[in-house]
Chain A
């Protein structure tokens, strides 16, 4: 069932010292979804992804993967999980081949044919010590390692930040092809919105410890940005109920993201003393508004 939730997070809370990173966060990921996770530096993307995998203890809330609590996932659920961490240098004291052989001991379904196919296409040397590979090569190896376990859910934490454009495209293409070949749910954290746009069907923005918005990529593309300028007292009385997002950008200034049709209606109904300009933001600008 494509609509079955495979990951459910409810009321997640996590703090580091006095800084609260996740604050009553809710998230539902359905089978087959490809979610691009966006957020400012330090917003808690890595923490959220680790929390979903049960790798760090929570201060509150609960997460389940395939209905099982993340803190105690049974082997049959772990078999279906793949994870590419943010840090590319993993097992740096081993060669690529030794690392893959080592990891394969923990996975009954490790796919060596796929490893050979990918390493050939991505020009990966498996005989070189991982510690002396470039960060980009290390990251490619990490992705190969995760894909070779044939996961049903693949969680990637900024996996392509250190890759050159050609390799980034190759990775995106491979992930897209994998999704076409078999059921694969993706959660992909990145700051590169162009890549997320190519790969993901949905975008989620993490802000102030919560998922501020989780919508289809098309929905983001359809938004327009209205900038309102007027006396602060007057603007305080203006409300846009159907707005996707409203932000105070200064004294007497508001930025509102909303659908084109609603923006036109808003322009018609606003008092003339309110100056309104409407533009069409690109996907990156639109998503960034939630992070401002």
Chain B
């Protein structure tokens, strides 16, 4: 859960000052605060600076990263990370992203390409027309050819056409035992997931399609948990085409975090997506999110805040998620007798825009301001929201009266501009500068960043007209960032934990869907934070029993090669725990962690490189960055 009240430093937050604390506890808290403040003045040594830079600006170091940053020079490396467009992206990553087609489609195309199965059936039965697009048409025709209609396709035979539509099933043209030989059948029936995966991958494309179609739906769905990306997409296209979009998103999120050379940009994508959170499971957002992340968030993560604010305000995903697309001037339907359901003002977006996107909850706005902002945004709507239509300004929905937002008068008679003026006011407001700077510092420096740092960043925000790159530069030039107070002060989020373990192990990821599931198990199902807060940056939100156990189990599974789609080569590690820890963390483990592993290794059965690696990744040390 979101929680903002942790004002005490992170350590104190867990030792907890009970209300009505004694004076000794209070002075202890003050002492802790003083000690912490001192640590933010203490500079890290050169080697630790490189590790710290990698800990904070990437999803964790990979083997070789420390050496290459050293060679390039820390300053130059940071400068390059601040200009991701100058970094050549990994060709291997681009190859892996290529099959994830939905990432590159417009919302309209997404709706058309991932039609629900009922539509395929309806086309087969002749009740829906063939798609006009020749490519789509060919694929639908091929799919239909693999089936034969069960019984009379004569729709006229049933009076209740709609009910028949929903229930009608088609039979595969060929049965499974007509497509596969007996050994292959045996493997599909009782083989291990690895064997099944191998078999499916070895089949020629045509035969594969026949096999998938011949399977009952349930059996086919089971392939999702272990099949390769390509085959998984085929299965989903048959079973639940809309789901392809979610799988593509998850797959790409993990692949980029693990393999992108533009690591800071990926960290910032995670930060800003959560800042401007939208929720996958809310209706049309299912097919609106790929375009949202690609067009509104990613191009702006180091750009002007005002641009990102506008891009999100106008994005179909946000207009849908926070309901603004159906907010209309209060008097619009009031007297319209033909409208049974009367529409009106909806405050949802107006409130979250100020509370979460710009000013912050204590940024100095009132309920009256919320209503006034909502009035300014009336008319910012969508064309055919359920069919992937885009932003559309509808003047007839707009409230033309005068509004007063945070003391600024927005004159009567305005149009689409009224909301633009609101965005101007909010994007340049000192509360926004402070709120955004503090949040960035909490993500990149410490849960409780020193005020001195936040002030420097906020000042830069205002003087640079909300230039995020400049704000990041101010942070990265500060002594607080490179201090002992910041070093390893953050607990990794589940996403960071999963990505950093794969990076540290230098694992080979052929598909990342199982990894994305693990991020969910650890408490952070990606794209599925229902509340507009997005996921938290604070340590205390990620440390609890359930999450810790999941982290340990994940560490063991990963190192022992039990996460589908990921291959770890542990042979290079040996089983000297001190060396393994150093290889995976790029620094020595704490004496306590080393002692515990060493003791475990007195038991010969535990003495395998995979076990040792799993223990290191599940250790308290590895949970920090």
Mutual binders A and B: no
Binding site for A on B (CB under 8 A): none
Binding site for B on A (CB under 8 A): none
